[in-house]
Chain A
Amino acid sequence: MPINTQPVTINLGPQHPSTHGVFRLRVTFDGEQVIDVEPVFGYLHRGTEKLAEERNYVQIVTLTDRLDYVAAMTNNLAYVRTVESLTGIEVPERGMYLRVISSELQRIASHLIATGFLLDELGAFHTPLIYCFRERERILEMFEMLCGARITVSYMRPGGVLQDAPTDFWPRLDDFLTSMPGYLDELEGLITENEVVLARTRDLGILSAQDAINASITGPVLRATGVQWDLRKAEPHEVYDRLDFDVPIGSVGDTFDRYYVRIQEIRQSLRMIQQCVAQIEPGPVRSKAPYFIRPDSVDAYVGTESPKGELGFYIVSDGGISPYRMHIRAPSFINLTVLRELLIGWKLADLIVIFGSLDIVVGEVDR
Protein backbone atom coordinates (compact mmCIF):
# COMPACT_ATOMS: atom_id res chain seq x y z
CA MET A 1 0.00 0.00 0.00
CA PRO A 2 1.47 3.38 -0.95
CA ILE A 3 2.01 5.75 1.94
CA ASN A 4 0.79 9.29 1.38
CA THR A 5 3.44 11.89 2.09
CA GLN A 6 3.23 15.64 2.30
CA PRO A 7 5.85 17.89 0.71
CA VAL A 8 8.00 19.67 3.28
CA THR A 9 9.91 22.87 2.57
CA ILE A 10 13.09 23.38 4.51
CA ASN A 11 15.80 25.99 4.54
CA LEU A 12 19.33 24.89 3.78
CA GLY A 13 21.56 27.71 4.90
CA PRO A 14 22.46 30.55 4.88
CA GLN A 15 24.46 29.36 7.90
CA HIS A 16 25.29 25.80 6.93
CA PRO A 17 28.75 24.26 6.63
CA SER A 18 27.99 22.67 3.24
CA THR A 19 26.93 25.86 1.50
CA HIS A 20 30.47 27.26 1.05
CA GLY A 21 29.72 30.50 2.83
CA VAL A 22 26.36 32.15 3.24
CA PHE A 23 24.24 30.61 0.51
CA ARG A 24 20.63 29.69 1.08
CA LEU A 25 18.51 27.08 -0.65
CA ARG A 26 14.78 26.67 -0.09
CA VAL A 27 14.26 23.01 -0.84
CA THR A 28 10.94 21.18 -1.05
CA PHE A 29 11.14 17.50 -0.22
CA ASP A 30 8.81 14.61 -0.78
CA GLY A 31 10.08 12.26 1.86
CA GLU A 32 13.78 12.41 1.23
CA GLN A 33 13.48 13.28 -2.44
CA VAL A 34 13.99 16.80 -3.76
CA ILE A 35 11.00 18.03 -5.74
CA ASP A 36 11.76 21.75 -5.93
CA VAL A 37 14.74 24.02 -5.27
CA GLU A 38 14.87 27.77 -5.02
CA PRO A 39 18.26 29.36 -4.45
CA VAL A 40 18.09 32.60 -2.45
CA PHE A 41 20.97 34.94 -3.20
CA GLY A 42 22.32 38.11 -1.71
CA TYR A 43 23.57 37.35 1.79
CA LEU A 44 27.07 38.49 0.85
CA HIS A 45 26.11 41.29 -1.53
CA ARG A 46 28.49 44.20 -1.01
CA GLY A 47 27.80 46.21 -4.15
CA THR A 48 31.23 45.73 -5.74
CA GLU A 49 30.04 47.14 -9.07
CA LYS A 50 28.78 50.33 -7.42
CA LEU A 51 31.90 50.67 -5.26
CA ALA A 52 34.06 50.46 -8.38
CA GLU A 53 32.40 53.59 -9.79
CA GLU A 54 33.93 55.63 -6.97
CA ARG A 55 37.48 54.30 -7.09
CA ASN A 56 40.32 54.71 -9.55
CA TYR A 57 41.54 51.86 -11.71
CA VAL A 58 44.40 50.80 -9.42
CA GLN A 59 42.29 50.85 -6.27
CA ILE A 60 39.72 48.50 -7.82
CA VAL A 61 42.33 45.70 -7.81
CA THR A 62 41.70 45.33 -4.07
CA LEU A 63 37.96 45.00 -4.66
CA THR A 64 38.51 42.11 -7.07
CA ASP A 65 40.39 40.14 -4.38
CA ARG A 66 37.15 39.90 -2.47
CA LEU A 67 35.06 38.40 -5.28
CA ASP A 68 36.25 34.82 -5.36
CA TYR A 69 38.21 34.91 -2.13
CA VAL A 70 39.86 31.54 -2.63
CA ALA A 71 41.25 32.59 -6.03
CA ALA A 72 42.25 36.23 -5.71
CA MET A 73 45.14 36.02 -8.19
CA THR A 74 42.96 35.04 -11.12
CA ASN A 75 40.45 37.75 -10.20
CA ASN A 76 43.28 40.28 -10.29
CA LEU A 77 44.40 38.93 -13.65
CA ALA A 78 40.93 39.12 -15.18
CA TYR A 79 40.50 42.72 -14.03
CA VAL A 80 43.91 44.09 -15.03
CA ARG A 81 43.63 42.44 -18.44
CA THR A 82 40.39 44.34 -19.05
CA VAL A 83 42.02 47.63 -18.01
CA GLU A 84 44.95 46.88 -20.32
CA SER A 85 42.60 46.13 -23.19
CA LEU A 86 40.83 49.44 -22.48
CA THR A 87 44.01 51.51 -22.35
CA GLY A 88 46.59 49.60 -24.41
CA ILE A 89 49.11 49.43 -21.55
CA GLU A 90 51.85 46.90 -22.40
CA VAL A 91 53.13 44.27 -19.96
CA PRO A 92 56.83 43.27 -19.87
CA GLU A 93 57.72 39.61 -20.52
CA ARG A 94 58.79 38.81 -16.97
CA GLY A 95 55.61 40.35 -15.64
CA MET A 96 53.57 38.06 -17.89
CA TYR A 97 55.45 34.97 -16.71
CA LEU A 98 54.99 35.93 -13.06
CA ARG A 99 51.29 36.43 -13.76
CA VAL A 100 50.94 32.98 -15.26
CA ILE A 101 52.95 31.34 -12.47
CA SER A 102 50.91 32.99 -9.74
CA SER A 103 47.54 32.37 -11.38
CA GLU A 104 48.32 28.72 -12.07
CA LEU A 105 49.40 28.31 -8.43
CA GLN A 106 46.10 29.91 -7.50
CA ARG A 107 44.22 27.49 -9.73
CA ILE A 108 45.87 24.57 -7.93
CA ALA A 109 44.92 26.07 -4.55
CA SER A 110 41.33 26.65 -5.64
CA HIS A 111 40.91 23.16 -7.08
CA LEU A 112 42.39 21.67 -3.90
CA ILE A 113 39.74 23.49 -1.88
CA ALA A 114 37.01 22.27 -4.24
CA THR A 115 38.21 18.68 -3.92
CA GLY A 116 38.70 18.84 -0.17
CA PHE A 117 35.25 20.24 0.51
CA LEU A 118 33.64 17.80 -1.91
CA LEU A 119 35.09 14.93 0.09
CA ASP A 120 34.01 16.64 3.28
CA GLU A 121 30.46 16.73 1.96
CA LEU A 122 30.65 13.08 0.97
CA GLY A 123 31.13 12.31 4.64
CA ALA A 124 34.90 11.85 4.73
CA PHE A 125 34.91 14.34 7.51
CA HIS A 126 37.89 16.72 7.47
CA THR A 127 40.72 14.23 6.89
CA PRO A 128 40.97 14.68 3.08
CA LEU A 129 40.25 18.37 3.55
CA ILE A 130 43.26 18.76 5.83
CA TYR A 131 45.40 16.87 3.26
CA CYS A 132 44.36 19.44 0.65
CA PHE A 133 44.82 22.37 2.99
CA ARG A 134 48.33 21.19 3.82
CA GLU A 135 49.42 21.64 0.22
CA ARG A 136 47.39 24.80 -0.26
CA GLU A 137 49.23 26.29 2.70
CA ARG A 138 52.51 25.98 0.81
CA ILE A 139 51.03 27.95 -2.08
CA LEU A 140 49.76 30.64 0.26
CA GLU A 141 53.21 30.90 1.81
CA MET A 142 54.65 31.49 -1.65
CA PHE A 143 52.05 34.21 -2.22
CA GLU A 144 53.17 35.79 1.03
CA MET A 145 56.71 35.89 -0.35
CA LEU A 146 55.47 37.52 -3.55
CA CYS A 147 53.34 40.28 -2.08
CA GLY A 148 53.01 39.95 1.70
CA ALA A 149 49.43 38.73 1.69
CA ARG A 150 48.06 35.21 1.62
CA ILE A 151 44.43 35.50 0.57
CA THR A 152 43.68 39.04 -0.57
CA VAL A 153 46.82 39.34 -2.60
CA SER A 154 46.32 42.42 -4.84
CA TYR A 155 49.49 41.30 -6.61
CA MET A 156 48.72 42.50 -10.11
CA ARG A 157 48.61 46.02 -11.45
CA PRO A 158 47.65 47.41 -14.82
CA GLY A 159 50.96 47.07 -16.66
CA GLY A 160 52.46 44.12 -14.81
CA VAL A 161 52.77 42.87 -11.26
CA LEU A 162 53.46 44.69 -8.00
CA GLN A 163 57.08 43.56 -7.59
CA ASP A 164 59.52 40.89 -8.68
CA ALA A 165 59.65 37.59 -6.82
CA PRO A 166 62.33 37.48 -4.08
CA THR A 167 65.33 35.20 -4.74
CA ASP A 168 64.29 32.63 -2.13
CA PHE A 169 60.92 32.27 -3.89
CA TRP A 170 62.38 30.13 -6.68
CA PRO A 171 63.81 27.30 -4.51
CA ARG A 172 60.48 27.13 -2.69
CA LEU A 173 58.64 26.86 -6.01
CA ASP A 174 61.01 24.12 -7.24
CA ASP A 175 60.48 22.22 -4.02
CA PHE A 176 56.72 22.51 -4.47
CA LEU A 177 56.83 21.41 -8.10
CA THR A 178 58.88 18.30 -7.33
CA SER A 179 56.79 17.15 -4.38
CA MET A 180 53.31 17.99 -5.66
CA PRO A 181 52.91 15.16 -8.25
CA GLY A 182 53.66 12.57 -5.57
CA TYR A 183 51.19 14.21 -3.28
CA LEU A 184 48.53 14.17 -5.99
CA ASP A 185 49.13 10.45 -6.54
CA GLU A 186 48.62 9.96 -2.82
CA LEU A 187 45.38 11.95 -2.87
CA GLU A 188 44.14 10.18 -5.98
CA GLY A 189 44.98 6.81 -4.43
CA LEU A 190 42.64 7.70 -1.62
CA ILE A 191 39.84 9.06 -3.76
CA THR A 192 39.76 8.28 -7.49
CA GLU A 193 39.35 4.52 -7.24
CA ASN A 194 37.73 4.51 -3.84
CA GLU A 195 34.61 2.39 -4.07
CA VAL A 196 32.56 4.55 -1.73
CA VAL A 197 33.44 7.72 -3.64
CA LEU A 198 32.60 6.07 -6.96
CA ALA A 199 29.28 4.75 -5.65
CA ARG A 200 28.34 8.18 -4.37
CA THR A 201 29.47 10.27 -7.36
CA ARG A 202 29.20 8.16 -10.53
CA ASP A 203 26.10 9.07 -12.62
CA LEU A 204 25.07 11.59 -10.00
CA GLY A 205 23.78 14.93 -11.21
CA ILE A 206 24.46 14.43 -14.91
CA LEU A 207 24.66 17.60 -17.00
CA SER A 208 24.57 17.24 -20.77
CA ALA A 209 26.87 19.27 -23.01
CA GLN A 210 23.94 20.87 -24.80
CA ASP A 211 22.29 22.04 -21.58
CA ALA A 212 25.60 23.31 -20.28
CA ILE A 213 26.24 25.46 -23.35
CA ASN A 214 22.68 26.76 -23.43
CA ALA A 215 22.92 27.77 -19.77
CA SER A 216 26.25 29.61 -20.26
CA ILE A 217 28.15 27.18 -18.03
CA THR A 218 31.94 27.58 -18.09
CA GLY A 219 35.01 26.16 -16.42
CA PRO A 220 35.50 22.62 -15.11
CA VAL A 221 31.73 22.10 -14.98
CA LEU A 222 31.50 22.66 -18.74
CA ARG A 223 34.61 20.62 -19.49
CA ALA A 224 33.28 17.71 -17.42
CA THR A 225 30.42 17.42 -19.92
CA GLY A 226 32.92 16.74 -22.69
CA VAL A 227 33.18 20.20 -24.26
CA GLN A 228 36.82 21.05 -24.83
CA TRP A 229 36.60 24.76 -24.16
CA ASP A 230 39.27 26.63 -22.23
CA LEU A 231 39.96 30.33 -22.71
CA ARG A 232 43.66 29.72 -22.14
CA LYS A 233 43.59 27.73 -25.41
CA ALA A 234 40.81 29.58 -27.24
CA GLU A 235 42.08 33.09 -26.46
CA PRO A 236 45.69 32.63 -25.39
CA HIS A 237 46.66 35.67 -23.34
CA GLU A 238 49.89 36.44 -21.45
CA VAL A 239 52.27 33.60 -22.39
CA TYR A 240 49.82 30.70 -22.61
CA ASP A 241 50.50 30.31 -26.34
CA ARG A 242 54.13 29.44 -25.55
CA LEU A 243 53.17 26.69 -23.10
CA ASP A 244 52.39 23.12 -23.97
CA PHE A 245 49.35 21.84 -22.08
CA ASP A 246 46.23 19.76 -22.55
CA VAL A 247 42.63 20.60 -21.73
CA PRO A 248 41.24 17.65 -19.75
CA ILE A 249 37.59 16.80 -20.36
CA GLY A 250 35.08 14.44 -18.82
CA SER A 251 32.86 11.96 -20.62
CA VAL A 252 29.51 11.83 -18.83
CA GLY A 253 29.22 15.15 -17.04
CA ASP A 254 28.46 13.64 -13.64
CA THR A 255 29.81 14.61 -10.23
CA PHE A 256 32.79 12.29 -10.57
CA ASP A 257 33.80 13.88 -13.88
CA ARG A 258 33.65 17.33 -12.32
CA TYR A 259 35.95 16.12 -9.55
CA TYR A 260 38.32 14.32 -11.89
CA VAL A 261 38.62 17.19 -14.39
CA ARG A 262 39.86 19.37 -11.53
CA ILE A 263 42.47 16.84 -10.47
CA GLN A 264 43.76 16.59 -14.05
CA GLU A 265 43.80 20.36 -14.34
CA ILE A 266 46.08 20.55 -11.30
CA ARG A 267 48.56 18.30 -13.13
CA GLN A 268 48.36 20.51 -16.24
CA SER A 269 48.92 23.62 -14.12
CA LEU A 270 52.05 22.05 -12.66
CA ARG A 271 53.24 21.36 -16.21
CA MET A 272 52.65 24.98 -17.16
CA ILE A 273 54.50 26.37 -14.14
CA GLN A 274 57.46 24.10 -14.87
CA GLN A 275 57.68 25.46 -18.41
CA CYS A 276 57.36 29.03 -17.14
CA VAL A 277 60.22 28.51 -14.68
CA ALA A 278 62.36 27.21 -17.55
CA GLN A 279 61.45 30.07 -19.89
CA ILE A 280 61.44 33.10 -17.56
CA GLU A 281 64.26 35.59 -18.02
CA PRO A 282 65.41 38.59 -15.97
CA GLY A 283 63.88 41.94 -16.79
CA PRO A 284 61.35 44.50 -15.61
CA VAL A 285 58.08 43.21 -14.19
CA ARG A 286 55.97 46.32 -14.56
CA SER A 287 55.74 48.91 -17.29
CA LYS A 288 55.34 52.59 -16.54
CA ALA A 289 51.64 53.29 -16.22
CA PRO A 290 50.16 56.37 -14.59
CA TYR A 291 48.50 55.95 -11.20
CA PHE A 292 45.43 57.79 -12.44
CA ILE A 293 44.52 55.97 -15.63
CA ARG A 294 42.25 57.79 -18.09
CA PRO A 295 41.23 55.33 -20.83
CA ASP A 296 40.67 56.51 -24.39
CA SER A 297 38.30 53.76 -25.46
CA VAL A 298 34.67 53.60 -24.59
CA ASP A 299 34.18 50.06 -23.40
CA ALA A 300 35.89 46.69 -23.23
CA TYR A 301 34.94 43.17 -22.28
CA VAL A 302 37.64 40.61 -21.53
CA GLY A 303 37.02 37.11 -20.25
CA THR A 304 39.67 35.13 -18.42
CA GLU A 305 39.68 31.47 -17.45
CA SER A 306 39.47 31.52 -13.67
CA PRO A 307 39.37 28.28 -11.64
CA LYS A 308 35.56 28.47 -11.58
CA GLY A 309 35.03 29.37 -15.23
CA GLU A 310 35.04 32.46 -17.39
CA LEU A 311 35.47 35.52 -15.23
CA GLY A 312 34.70 38.54 -17.39
CA PHE A 313 34.83 42.24 -16.73
CA TYR A 314 32.87 44.70 -18.83
CA ILE A 315 34.14 48.23 -18.18
CA VAL A 316 32.58 51.37 -19.64
CA SER A 317 34.70 54.50 -19.42
CA ASP A 318 33.77 58.15 -19.83
CA GLY A 319 37.42 59.22 -19.88
CA GLY A 320 37.54 59.88 -16.14
CA ILE A 321 39.78 58.31 -13.51
CA SER A 322 37.18 55.76 -12.43
CA PRO A 323 34.99 53.48 -14.53
CA TYR A 324 31.58 54.79 -15.54
CA ARG A 325 30.24 51.27 -15.11
CA MET A 326 31.87 47.97 -14.30
CA HIS A 327 29.97 44.75 -14.76
CA ILE A 328 31.36 41.45 -13.53
CA ARG A 329 30.47 38.22 -15.31
CA ALA A 330 30.92 35.91 -12.36
CA PRO A 331 31.27 32.21 -13.27
CA SER A 332 30.05 30.94 -9.88
CA PHE A 333 26.86 32.98 -10.27
CA ILE A 334 26.05 31.91 -13.80
CA ASN A 335 26.96 28.25 -13.16
CA LEU A 336 24.09 28.19 -10.65
CA THR A 337 21.61 28.53 -13.54
CA VAL A 338 21.46 24.74 -13.85
CA LEU A 339 21.31 24.07 -10.11
CA ARG A 340 17.57 23.46 -10.00
CA GLU A 341 17.55 20.97 -12.89
CA LEU A 342 20.56 19.14 -11.49
CA LEU A 343 19.09 18.68 -8.03
CA ILE A 344 15.48 17.71 -8.70
CA GLY A 345 14.86 14.03 -8.15
CA TRP A 346 17.89 13.36 -5.96
CA LYS A 347 18.00 12.78 -2.23
CA LEU A 348 19.11 15.25 0.42
CA ALA A 349 22.57 13.70 0.86
CA ASP A 350 23.12 13.83 -2.92
CA LEU A 351 21.96 17.43 -3.07
CA ILE A 352 24.89 18.46 -0.87
CA VAL A 353 27.35 16.55 -3.06
CA ILE A 354 26.05 17.88 -6.40
CA PHE A 355 26.02 21.40 -5.04
CA GLY A 356 29.57 20.96 -3.77
CA SER A 357 30.77 19.65 -7.13
CA LEU A 358 29.69 22.88 -8.86
CA ASP A 359 32.29 24.62 -6.67
CA ILE A 360 30.82 28.05 -6.10
CA VAL A 361 32.20 30.81 -3.91
CA VAL A 362 29.56 33.10 -2.48
CA GLY A 363 31.77 36.19 -2.64
CA GLU A 364 31.56 35.88 -6.40
CA VAL A 365 27.90 34.84 -6.56
CA ASP A 366 26.67 37.87 -4.62
CA ARG A 367 29.47 40.31 -5.42
Chain B
Amino acid sequence: MSIPITGEKAAIRIKQNVPDSVVVFDDTNVWVEVDKLLDVCSFLKDDVELDMQFLNSISAVDYIEYFELVYHLRSLRNNTTLVIKAKCFGRENITVPSVTSVWKGAELQEREAWDLMGIKFSKHPNMKRILLWEGFPGHPLRKDFIR
Protein backbone atom coordinates (compact mmCIF):
# COMPACT_ATOMS: atom_id res chain seq x y z
CA MET B 1 0.00 0.00 0.00
CA SER B 2 1.27 3.47 -0.85
CA ILE B 3 2.24 5.40 2.26
CA PRO B 4 1.52 9.14 2.28
CA ILE B 5 4.47 11.07 3.70
CA THR B 6 3.21 13.25 6.53
CA GLY B 7 3.34 16.99 6.04
CA GLU B 8 5.49 17.38 9.14
CA LYS B 9 8.19 14.97 8.02
CA ALA B 10 8.38 16.45 4.54
CA ALA B 11 8.32 20.02 5.85
CA ILE B 12 11.28 19.40 8.17
CA ARG B 13 13.28 17.82 5.37
CA ILE B 14 12.48 20.64 2.93
CA LYS B 15 13.24 23.34 5.53
CA GLN B 16 16.69 21.89 6.19
CA ASN B 17 17.66 21.97 2.54
CA VAL B 18 15.74 24.86 1.00
CA PRO B 19 15.64 27.65 3.60
CA ASP B 20 12.62 29.97 3.89
CA SER B 21 10.52 27.84 1.58
CA VAL B 22 7.85 26.23 3.79
CA VAL B 23 4.88 28.44 4.70
CA VAL B 24 2.80 26.01 6.72
CA PHE B 25 2.01 22.30 6.82
CA ASP B 26 -0.70 19.95 8.11
CA ASP B 27 -1.12 16.16 8.29
CA THR B 28 -0.94 15.52 4.56
CA ASN B 29 0.04 18.75 2.80
CA VAL B 30 2.97 21.14 2.70
CA TRP B 31 2.45 24.70 1.52
CA VAL B 32 5.54 26.29 0.00
CA GLU B 33 6.43 29.78 -1.22
CA VAL B 34 5.68 30.25 -4.92
CA ASP B 35 9.11 31.79 -5.57
CA LYS B 36 10.86 28.77 -4.08
CA LEU B 37 8.69 26.21 -5.90
CA LEU B 38 11.33 25.24 -8.44
CA ASP B 39 14.04 24.82 -5.77
CA VAL B 40 11.73 22.72 -3.61
CA CYS B 41 10.70 20.52 -6.52
CA SER B 42 14.23 19.87 -7.74
CA PHE B 43 15.26 19.07 -4.16
CA LEU B 44 12.35 16.63 -3.74
CA LYS B 45 13.24 14.86 -6.95
CA ASP B 46 16.96 14.52 -6.28
CA ASP B 47 16.75 13.82 -2.55
CA VAL B 48 17.76 10.21 -1.85
CA GLU B 49 15.41 9.83 1.08
CA LEU B 50 12.22 11.31 -0.40
CA ASP B 51 12.98 10.30 -4.03
CA MET B 52 9.98 11.98 -5.67
CA GLN B 53 10.91 10.94 -9.20
CA PHE B 54 7.34 10.83 -10.45
CA LEU B 55 5.03 13.81 -10.87
CA ASN B 56 1.50 12.50 -10.70
CA SER B 57 -0.59 15.52 -11.47
CA ILE B 58 -0.75 19.29 -11.29
CA SER B 59 -4.13 20.76 -10.37
CA ALA B 60 -5.06 24.42 -10.07
CA VAL B 61 -7.92 25.52 -7.83
CA ASP B 62 -9.53 28.97 -7.75
CA TYR B 63 -10.31 30.00 -4.17
CA ILE B 64 -11.28 33.55 -5.27
CA GLU B 65 -8.83 35.28 -2.84
CA TYR B 66 -6.01 33.21 -4.26
CA PHE B 67 -5.19 30.37 -6.64
CA GLU B 68 -3.76 27.16 -5.31
CA LEU B 69 -1.47 24.87 -7.28
CA VAL B 70 -1.48 21.27 -6.08
CA TYR B 71 1.38 18.92 -6.98
CA HIS B 72 0.78 15.24 -6.33
CA LEU B 73 4.15 13.51 -6.23
CA ARG B 74 5.06 9.87 -5.96
CA SER B 75 8.12 7.77 -5.33
CA LEU B 76 7.94 4.57 -7.34
CA ARG B 77 10.86 3.04 -5.45
CA ASN B 78 9.58 3.66 -1.91
CA ASN B 79 5.89 3.58 -2.89
CA THR B 80 5.19 6.84 -1.08
CA THR B 81 3.15 9.89 -2.02
CA LEU B 82 3.46 13.57 -1.13
CA VAL B 83 1.27 16.62 -1.75
CA ILE B 84 2.88 20.03 -2.26
CA LYS B 85 0.71 23.11 -2.51
CA ALA B 86 1.47 26.72 -3.40
CA LYS B 87 -0.77 29.75 -3.08
CA CYS B 88 -0.63 32.51 -5.70
CA PHE B 89 -2.35 35.77 -4.83
CA GLY B 90 -3.87 38.20 -7.31
CA ARG B 91 -6.14 37.74 -10.32
CA GLU B 92 -4.16 39.19 -13.22
CA ASN B 93 -0.69 38.35 -14.56
CA ILE B 94 0.01 35.50 -12.19
CA THR B 95 3.36 33.92 -12.94
CA VAL B 96 4.71 30.78 -11.34
CA PRO B 97 8.07 29.10 -12.06
CA SER B 98 7.63 26.14 -14.36
CA VAL B 99 8.77 22.73 -13.14
CA THR B 100 9.22 21.29 -16.64
CA SER B 101 13.01 21.36 -16.11
CA VAL B 102 12.52 18.95 -13.21
CA TRP B 103 9.77 16.71 -14.57
CA LYS B 104 9.01 16.68 -18.27
CA GLY B 105 5.55 15.36 -17.35
CA ALA B 106 4.57 18.87 -16.27
CA GLU B 107 4.66 20.19 -19.83
CA LEU B 108 1.10 19.53 -20.95
CA GLN B 109 -0.39 19.93 -17.49
CA GLU B 110 1.04 23.42 -17.03
CA ARG B 111 -0.29 24.44 -20.42
CA GLU B 112 -3.67 23.17 -19.30
CA ALA B 113 -3.48 25.23 -16.09
CA TRP B 114 -2.71 28.33 -18.15
CA ASP B 115 -5.49 27.65 -20.62
CA LEU B 116 -8.30 26.87 -18.19
CA MET B 117 -7.21 28.70 -15.03
CA GLY B 118 -5.02 31.53 -16.28
CA ILE B 119 -1.83 30.82 -14.36
CA LYS B 120 1.27 31.54 -16.42
CA PHE B 121 4.42 29.47 -15.99
CA SER B 122 7.75 31.19 -16.58
CA LYS B 123 10.49 29.37 -18.51
CA HIS B 124 8.02 26.86 -19.92
CA PRO B 125 9.23 25.73 -23.36
CA ASN B 126 5.87 26.24 -25.08
CA MET B 127 3.48 28.37 -23.03
CA LYS B 128 0.44 28.35 -25.30
CA ARG B 129 -3.22 27.50 -24.84
CA ILE B 130 -3.88 23.80 -25.21
CA LEU B 131 -7.55 22.82 -25.20
CA LEU B 132 -9.03 26.14 -26.35
CA TRP B 133 -7.89 28.29 -29.23
CA GLU B 134 -5.64 31.36 -29.04
CA GLY B 135 -7.85 34.38 -28.57
CA PHE B 136 -10.48 32.67 -26.45
CA PRO B 137 -11.79 35.30 -24.01
CA GLY B 138 -10.92 34.47 -20.41
CA HIS B 139 -10.11 31.24 -18.60
CA PRO B 140 -13.21 29.07 -18.14
CA LEU B 141 -12.39 27.24 -14.90
CA ARG B 142 -12.10 30.49 -12.95
CA LYS B 143 -15.01 31.06 -10.61
CA ASP B 144 -15.71 34.53 -12.05
CA PHE B 145 -15.82 33.31 -15.66
CA ILE B 146 -19.06 34.23 -17.41
CA ARG B 147 -19.46 32.94 -20.92
Contact = CB atoms under 8 A, between A and B. Distances in A.
B70 A215 contact: no
B76 A213 contact: yes
Contacts of B141: 49-50, 325
Contact of B57 (A41, A45, A214, A329): A329
A229 B56 CA distance: 13
A319 B112 CA distance: 26
Given A217-B105, A236-B1, A312-B56, 13 more contacts: A41-B130, A41-B131, A45-B132, A49-B116, A211-B104, A213-B76, A215-B103, A216-B56, A301-B70, A316-B61, A325-B62, A329-B72, A337-B104
B135 to A, nearest CB: 13
Interface residues of A, number: 35
A227 interface: yes
14 contacts: A42-B130, A45-B131, A45-B132, A213-B54, A216-B56, A216-B57, A234-B1, A299-B70, A312-B57, A324-B61, A327-B60, A329-B56, A329-B59, A337-B108
Contact of B108 (A49, A299, A310, A334): A334
Contacts of B61: 316, 324-325, 327
B140 A47 contact: yes
B2 interface: yes
Given A216-B103, A234-B79, A334 B132 contact: no
Nearest to B106: A216
A131 B94 CA distance: 53
Contacts of B76: 213, 227, 229
Interface string B1-20: 11000000000000000000
A336 interface: yes
Given A41-B130, A45-B132, A301-B83, A337 B107 contact: yes
Interface of B: 1-2, 53-57, 59-62, 70, 72, 76, 79, 83, 103-109, 112, 116, 130-133, 140-141
Contacts of A45: 131-132
Nearest to A214: B104
Contact of B56 (A42, A234, A303, A324): A303
A159 B59 CA distance: 26
Interface in A297-337: 299, 301, 303, 310, 312, 314, 316, 324-325, 327, 329, 333-334, 336-337
A328 to B, nearest CB: 9
